[in-house]
Amino acid sequence: MLREPRRFRHGALTVLHDPMPGPLTGIALVVRAGSRFDGAHPGIAHMTEHMLFQGTRRFDQATLNRRAGELGGEHDADTGYEDVTLHFEVFNQDVEEALTLLAEQCFRSTVPADRFKKEQRVVIDEIRGRQEDPANYLHERAWARFFGDALGHPVCGTIASVQRMTRDAIRRFIARYFVPGNMVLSLVGGVSRRTVARALARAFPTDGPRARATPPPPRGGGSGVLRVRRRDFPQSYVVRMTSAPPRPREVLALSTALEIMGADPDARLFQEIRERLGLGYDLSASVEHGLDWAVAVISASAARDDERRLRETIDRTCREAAKGFAADELERARKKIRYRFARLADTRLDRALAHASREACGQPSLAATERMIESLRPSEVERAWRRALEAPTLTAILRG
């Protein structure tokens, strides 16, 4: 079983320390500033993530990345709907230097003009690549229709929004959101709390507001059928998005139901679409969620002329599951989820990321979630699935 991390504060910064024997420490710094905070500049959170690596008051881009390489660890970042995450995995003796480097990136980035122009081109190329992926293209169109406004735009933004972005807008975004009170720092590994406290005193400010940023509320409601045509795509793609309650226990219950329904070889949709009918290869099923939103997403592809059969098969298989799940299906699903949590127990960096992101977004801790999974009743899982069948649903279809 996973344990609760030790919690303390450095000024307004929340710190989670999870000791784990061994020579390495995983570090995750989560900032409550994901794409739903973009406001008038879609993609600005993602562009900010890029610019954190492009130069600070002390280091230019080459020096910053060379210093990270000298520490020998995994130094990277990621932007999602809810947060921006920086992470590092280093030897215990290098934690102080790693935290100093992360603080330099977050509190002293300069957004150099030449590097900003270069990163605009890089991000635009990234957006073009995503648009060339038919599954991603349809997913983004469906997501925009389903959510609209704050959650509806792609995390990377659009080509037009990135072209309109300015250095000053990035600097204002950093100044507003990249403050200790809007961050959670998590460390999992062999470093001592004393060393962590000494490093924070050396590099992290203690002033600023304690309250975390409040995002704009999601505005859902896009349901029905969305049809998209792209003649350059030879296949058909289906994305089915269903609104779900965001309460943690209900998210877990629906996630367990999707384990039974979804994309693993023993799951119902896999067996029906791939094994019995041979309709297509790509298939996925998941629940994506934040503090105040959740959505179940099923995606599949088939030959262009099989789009209708694919859609009808998904609908029929989902409806038939309203009759209930077998005891062995429930046990397999529960065991898969337990397995993922067991892997976290052995993985410093992933565990640090999970600790920090859950705390930053007001979600139950890993230990509390693990206990919740064990206490889920079969009736809760079946009820969550039946509720999903009655909830607002958008079916998006892409045909070539």
pLDDT of residue 216: 81
Distance set, CA 21 to CA 18, 24, 199, 347, 348 (Å): 10, 8, 20, 12, 10
Instruction: Find tokens 């024997």 and name the residue.
Output: 21
Nearest to 104 by CA among 83, 91, 86: 86
> Which of 254, 289, 268 is CA-nearest to residue 380?
254
Contact 60, 173 (CB under 8 A): no
Contact 360, 184 (CB under 8 A): yes
Q: Report the C-alpha gap between 258 and 267 in whole angstroms.
A: 9
Report strand pairing: 235-243 vs 393-399.
antiparallel
Please tell me the distance from the alpha carbon of residue 214 to that of residue 133, in angstroms, as a whole number: 33
What pLDDT is attached to residue 221?
A: 65
pLDDT in tens, 60-97: 999 999 999 999 878 999 999 999 999 999 999 999 99
pLDDT tens track for 42-67 = 999 999 999 999 999 999 999 999 99
- Domains in the chain: ranges and CATH: 6-203 (3.30.830.10), 224-399 (3.30.830.10)
Q: Are residues 88 and 143 in contact, defined by beta-carbon separation less than 8 angstroms? A: no
**Per-residue pLDDT tens over the stretch 302-321:** 998 899 999 999 999 999 99
The pLDDT, as a whole number, for residue 338 is 87
pLDDT in tens, the chain (400 residues): 788 999 999 999 999 999 999 999 999 999 999 999 999 999 999 999 999 999 999 999 999 999 999 998 789 999 999 999 999 999 999 999 999 999 999 999 999 999 999 999 999 999 999 988 999 999 999 999 999 877 999 999 999 999 999 999 999 999 999 999 999 999 999 999 999 999 999 999 988 777 788 888 887 667 899 999 887 778 899 999 999 999 999 999 999 999 999 889 999 999 999 999 988 888 999 999 998 999 999 999 999 889 999 999 999 999 999 999 999 999 999 999 888 888 888 899 999 999 999 999 999 999 999 999 989 999 999 999 999 999 999 999 998 7
Q: Which alpha helices (DSSP H) does 80-133 contain, by range?
A: 95-107, 113-132
Burial group, residue 7, by CB count within 10 angstroms (0-12, 13-18, 19+): middle
- pLDDT value at position 43? 97
pLDDT at position 341, please? 84
Neighbours of 164 (CB within 10 A): 15
